[in-house]
């Protein structure tokens, strides 16, 4: 069903398989950060789940999840009847059916040729886009042509669904134009508009279509909160969307030469990430399935900052800024949450919606019928390090001092205050007790390696920031931060247990982890039932089995605190013990494997990451695409294969292209400068604008315009200190 495209810019879903339909609809969804539309068939089917998912508007629901994103009926839904018989893809004789996500153009196209059972041959072609030029516009055109056969009467009923969410702020309104066009007919035009608070009443139109004629329906719908601004014609808005996507890709081009599947997957990930970003000034952020499905109810996790934002800050920095402003906007709720738990500063919600209050469900019913308590909302505190990490990375990537002054510094300081109060002083070292790390198989653990590392990093970063001229002053003043408080952070940071890895030994993921028994992790990796279901969640507590990268996650974010020997030893130990039951895990393993110059694991984990939504005819995407994992894949390609690093002074590449990968071409924006890099037998860089320091392996130069470097693929990441003299 999933087909390869020659140019690597399209994703095809051919035919129609009801069992894969939900995944197809999500994988091929079109989004613009403001709303997302699933790629459902216009005429619907028993397997279809057509929806518009609206960003930022959460409604209360019964059940543990508490709140979910608002969904609306898709106004592209049309009931089509030929001679009073409804067209149904599962009943007519399909000659060809193909949906195509054109990632470069940011649009979804469909072509369907079928026989209606009376010898008439029809062809339906449609185009849909969530406009990248006007974030409230949804464009849809469908053309139904009678290619062969007797004149037929068509009944078209627009949007049968009406919704009872009236009263929520917002509006779906628009104009549908329908015309019957063909050699023998005069052009007739039926116009209809619908508007109103989430009520799309059913309306219908009839037409008689003869051999060689077609019916064309074009709609430009506005999905907006408040009054919808004016829109142009379909053709005009269609072109504007294409132009906007071309401009986006100019700053985000990605090519992985020599590996077609990976190339397509890297672009697919980039497409969804670009589509997820919005410039809403912090009114909302990006949920774990973006706007492509209802998985996780649109809740926002660390996925956004740790996995997605690195890609956005280097390709659509304004969208990364907006997502970070959302955390700033929800800082009061984060401070309230910390206070409620007896701590100082800010602890962001593990699952966040509009206000920033924690919306993590407290229980879950597992597929085996057992109910388990979910403790992540109470104990997964590393989010208070993940958000400041993204703030600092954004600042390094963009040099956006205004953001730091107005929002970023405050986030870092409030999180530092949290960690300072979160530690438990011991005789020599500070402990962080009773947490859940990224490895959610183990609860109530003490001194989780990732948590402790990111906590220490947050404190050290806050101290450095407090000494930074210019950007931190206002925040320090507003938060009343004294030098004494900063000194206290310093004392705490330097004594946090298990937060720095200088030796070559295997690090215990948390206190006592190394004493647990091993589990048959590898055996279950390809099994139909994941290990935690097969053995029972309670049993996982006592086993040396890891859900997703945890110790290795600290290396993925902070490679410089590791020795190469230490990382190698820990990769060798943890990789075989990791179940990868989170989609966030494989790309992080690909990233670390690339830094370790492990060719087989690099390729294997890249391929595994690529298959998460695209493999098995898209079934993995059934509840929505794994946009965090896509961000991870982008990082594995750019930071892993490209070895890209950046800071205020320059950018560095330590490329590693294991076979069959022969080339990597990237475009991105660093500090307002457009960078093109092509890595093959050598490394070619082009920097537009002011010169920058570029380092490739050990060679360092000032570059503006074109430069070519030789490189040594076996030089590992650790050798690249950006900006330092060669
Ligand atoms: C993962 C978390 C992740 C969440 C949402 C969980 O399965 O363990 O790390 O934040 O899914 O994607």
| Per-residue confidence (pLDDT) for residue 176, from 0 to 100 | 55
Beta 52-60 vs 67-72: how paired, if at all? antiparallel
Q: Is the CB of 386 under 6 A from ligand 1?
A: no
Residue nearest to atom 1 of ligand 1 (CA): 582
Mean pLDDT along residues 412-421: 98
Burial of 6 (0-12, 13-18, 19+ CB in 10 A): exposed
pLDDT tens, 88-147?
Answer: 999 999 999 999 999 999 999 999 999 999 999 999 999 999 999 999 889 999 999 999
Residue to mutate, 287, 300, 303, ligand 1, most ligand atoms under 8 Å from C-beta: 303
Ligand 1 atom at minimum distance from 548 CA? 8
- Beta carbon of 44 within 6 Å of any ligand 1 atom: no
Phi-psi region of 9 (alpha: psi -120 to 50; beta: other; left: phi over 0): alpha
Distance, C-alpha 478 to centroid of its chain: 33
Residue 720 has pLDDT above 60, yes or no: no
**Which helix (DSSP H) or strand (DSSP E) does residue 273 occupy?**
helix 260-276
> Which atom belonging to ligand 1 lies closest to the Cα atom of 302?
10
Q: What is the rounded distance in angstroms from the CA atom of residue 275 to the CA atom of residue 295?
A: 18
What is the 576 CA–ligand 1 centroid distance (Å)? 20
Pocket test for ligand 1, best of 294, 297, 306, 584 (most atoms within 8 A of CB): 584
- The secondary structure of 42-64 as a DSSP string is TT--TT----EEEEEEEEE-SST
The three-class DSSP label of residue 192 is strand
Q: Can you give the pLDDT at residue 229?
A: 65
Residue 53 burial (CB count, 10 A): 26
What pLDDT band is residue 177 in, cutting at 50, 70 and 90? Answer: low
Residue whose CA is at the smallest distance from ligand 1 atom 6: 582
Total-model pTM: 0.94
On the CB side of 21, CA atoms within 13 Å amount to 15
Q: What is the pLDDT of residue 166?
A: 38
Average model confidence (pLDDT) across the chain: 90
pLDDT at 7: 80
Model confidence pLDDT, tens digit, residues 662-689: 999 999 999 999 999 999 999 999 999 9
Q: Strand 645-646 relative to strand 650-653: parallel, antiparallel, unpaired?
A: antiparallel
231 vs 626: which has the higher pLDDT: 626
**Neighbouring-strand partners of residue 171:** 224
Q: How is residue 413 written in tokens?
A: 């300081």
Residue listed under structure tokens 């919704």 = 163
The neighbouring-strand residues paired with 207 are: 154
| Whether the predicted pLDDT of 191 surpasses 50 | no
Alpha carbon distance 298, 223 (integer Å) = 18
At 70, is the pLDDT very low, low, confident or very high (cuts 50, 70, 90)?
Answer: confident
Q: Ligand 1 pocket test: which of 300, 390, 440 has the largest number of ligand atoms within 8 Å of its C-beta?
A: 440
The pLDDT, as a whole number, for residue 612 is 97
**Residue 45: per-residue pLDDT:** 95
CB burial of 299-323 (b: ≥16 within 10 Å; e: otherwise) equals bbbbbbbbbbbbbbbbbbbebbbbb
Q: Which residues contact 65 (CB under 8 A, 6 or more apart)?
A: 297, 299, 359, 361
444: left (phi over 0), alpha (psi -120 to 50) or beta: left
Please state whether 618 falls in left (phi above 0), alpha (psi between -120 and 50) or beta. left
Contact yes or no for 380/435 (Cβ under 8 A): yes
**584 Cβ inside 6 Å of ligand 1:** yes
> Mean pLDDT over residues 596-610, rounded?
98
Q: What is the pLDDT of residues 49-59, one digit of tens each?
A: 998 898 998 88
Does position 638 have pLDDT exceeding 60, yes or no?
yes
* Alpha helices, DSSP H, located in 171-302: 234-250, 260-276, 302
Q: What is the CA radius of gyration of the chain?
A: 26
How far, in Å, from the CA of 303 to the mean position of ligand 1?
Answer: 7
Is the C-beta atom of 460 inside 6 A of ligand 1? Answer: no
In this prediction, residue 180 carries a pLDDT of 52
Task: Kindly state the average pLDDT of the residues 631-650.
Answer: 95
Give me the helix-helix angle, 409-422 and 331-340, nearest 10°. 10
β-strands 10-14, 203-209 pairing:
unpaired
User: Which of ligand 1's atoms lies nearest the C-alpha of 438?
Assistant: 9
pLDDT in tens, 288-301: 999 999 999 999 99
Percent of the chain residues topping a pLDDT of 70:
91
Partnered with residue 153 across adjacent β-strands are: 208
- Average pLDDT in the 197-205 region? 51
pLDDT for res 345: 98
Q: Is the pLDDT of residue 366 over 90?
A: no
Pick 518 or 168 by higher pLDDT: 518
Please write the tens of the pLDDT for every residue from 215-232.
888 888 887 655 556 778
Q: Please report the sign of the dihedral spanned by the C-alpha atoms of residue 589, residue 590, residue 591, residue 594.
A: positive
CA 142 to chain centre: 30
Distance of alpha carbon 359 from alpha carbon 374, whole angstroms? 12
Task: Show the DSSP H helices in 535-646 as ranges.
Answer: 537-540, 551-557, 564-574, 585-595, 599-614, 627-635
Please compute the mean of the pLDDT values over residues 277-281 and round it to a whole number: 93
Place of tokens 């062809």: 123
Omega within 30 of 0 (cis) for the link into 660: yes
Instruction: Return the best residue to mutate from 451, 620, 628 for the ligand 1 pocket (most ligand atoms within 8 A of CB).
Output: 628
- pLDDT confidence of residue 207: 82
Instruction: Using the mean position of ligand 1's atoms as its centre, give its distance from the Cα of residue 470 in Å.
Output: 37
Q: Is 342 exposed, middle or buried (0-12, 13-18, 19+ CB in 10 A)?
A: exposed
């Amino acid at each position: 069903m999933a087909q390869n495209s020659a140019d690597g810019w399209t994703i095809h879903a051919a035919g129609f398989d009801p069992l894969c339909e939900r995944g197809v609809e999500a994988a091929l969804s079109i989004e613009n950060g403001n709303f997302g539309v699933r790629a459902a068939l216009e005429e619907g089917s028993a397997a279809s789940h057509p929806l518009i998912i609206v960003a930022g508007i959460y409604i209360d629901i019964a059940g543990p999840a508490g709140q979910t994103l608002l969904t609306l009926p898709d106004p592209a839904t049309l009931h089509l009847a030929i001679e009073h018989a409804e067209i149904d893809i599962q009943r007519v004789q399909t000659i060809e059916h193909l949906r195509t996500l054109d990632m470069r153009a940011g649009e979804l196209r469909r072509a369907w040729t079928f026989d209606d059972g009376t010898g008439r041959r029809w062809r339906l072609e449609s185009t849909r886009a969530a406009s990248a030029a006007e974030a409230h516009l949804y464009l849809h055109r469908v053309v139904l042509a009678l290619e062969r056969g007797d004149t037929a009467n068509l009944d078209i009923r627009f949007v049968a669904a009406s919704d009872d969410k009236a009263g929520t702020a917002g509006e779906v309104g628009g104009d549908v134009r329908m015309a019957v066009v063909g050699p023998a007919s005069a052009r007739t035009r039926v116009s209809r508009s619908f508007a109103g608070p989430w009520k799309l009443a059913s309306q219908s139109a009839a037409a008689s279509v003869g051999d060689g004629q077609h019916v064309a329906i074009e709609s430009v719908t506005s999905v907006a909160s408040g009054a919808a601004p004016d829109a142009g014609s379909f053709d005009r808005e269609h072109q504007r969307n294409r132009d906007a996507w071309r401009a986006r890709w100019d700053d985000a081009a990605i090519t992985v030469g020599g590996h077609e599947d990976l190339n397509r997957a890297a672009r697919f990930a980039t497409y969804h990430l670009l589509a997820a970003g919005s410039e809403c000034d912090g009114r909302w952020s990006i949920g774990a399935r973006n706007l492509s499905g209802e998985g996780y109810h649109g809740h926002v996790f660390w996925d956004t900052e740790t996995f997605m934002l690195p890609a956005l800050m280097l390709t659509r920095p304004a969208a990364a800024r907006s997502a970070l402003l959302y955390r700033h906007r929800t800082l009061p709720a984060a401070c309230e949450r910390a206070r409620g738990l007896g701590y100082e500063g800010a602890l962001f919600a593990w699952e966040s919606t509009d206000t920033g209050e924690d919306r993590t469900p407290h229980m879950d019913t597992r597929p085996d019928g057992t109910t388990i308590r979910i403790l992540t909302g109470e104990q997964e505190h590393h989010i208070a390090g993940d958000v400041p990490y993204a703030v600092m990375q954004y600042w390094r990537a963009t040099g956006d001092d205004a953001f730091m002054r107005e929002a970023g510094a405050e986030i870092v300081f409030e999180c530092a205050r949290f960690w300072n109060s979160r530690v438990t002083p011991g005789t020599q070292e500070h402990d962080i007790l009773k947490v859940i790390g990224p490895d959610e198989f183990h609860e109530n653990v003490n001194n989780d390696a990732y948590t402790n590392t990111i906590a220490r990093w947050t404190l050290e970063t806050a101290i450095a920031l407090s000494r930074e001229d210019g950007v931190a002053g206002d925040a320090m003043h507003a938060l009343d931060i004294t030098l004494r408080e900063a000194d206290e952070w310093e004392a705490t940071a330097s004594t946090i247990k298990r937060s720095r890895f200088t030796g070559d030994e295997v690090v215990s993921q948390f206190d006592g982890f190394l004493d647990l028994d091993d589990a048959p992790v590898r055996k279950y990796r390809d099994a139909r039932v994941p290990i935690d279901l097969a053995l029972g969640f309670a049993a996982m507590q006592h086993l040396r089995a890891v859900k997703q990268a945890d110790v290795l996650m600290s290396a993925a974010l902070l490679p410089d605190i590791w020795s190469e020997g230490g990382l190698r030893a820990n990769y060798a130990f943890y990789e075989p013990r990791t179940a990868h039951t989170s989609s966030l895990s494989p790309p992080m393993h690909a990233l670390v494997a690339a830094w370790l110059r492990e060719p087989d694991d690099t390729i294997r984990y890249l391929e595994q990451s690529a298959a998460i939504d695209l493999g098995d005819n898209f079934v993995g995407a059934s509840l929505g695409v794994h946009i965090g994992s896509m961000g991870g894949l982008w990082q594995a390609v750019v930071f892993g294969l490209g070895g890209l690093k950046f800071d205020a002074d320059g950018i560095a590449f330590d490329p590693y292209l294991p076979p069959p990968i022969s080339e990597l071409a990237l475009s991105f924006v660093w500090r307002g400068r457009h960078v093109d890099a092509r890595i093959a037998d050598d490394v070619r860089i082009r920097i537009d604008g002011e010169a920058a320091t570029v380092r490739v392996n050990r060679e360092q130069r000032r570059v503006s315009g074109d430069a070519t470097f030789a490189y040594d693929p076996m030089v590992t990441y650790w050798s690249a200190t950006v900006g330092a003299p060669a």
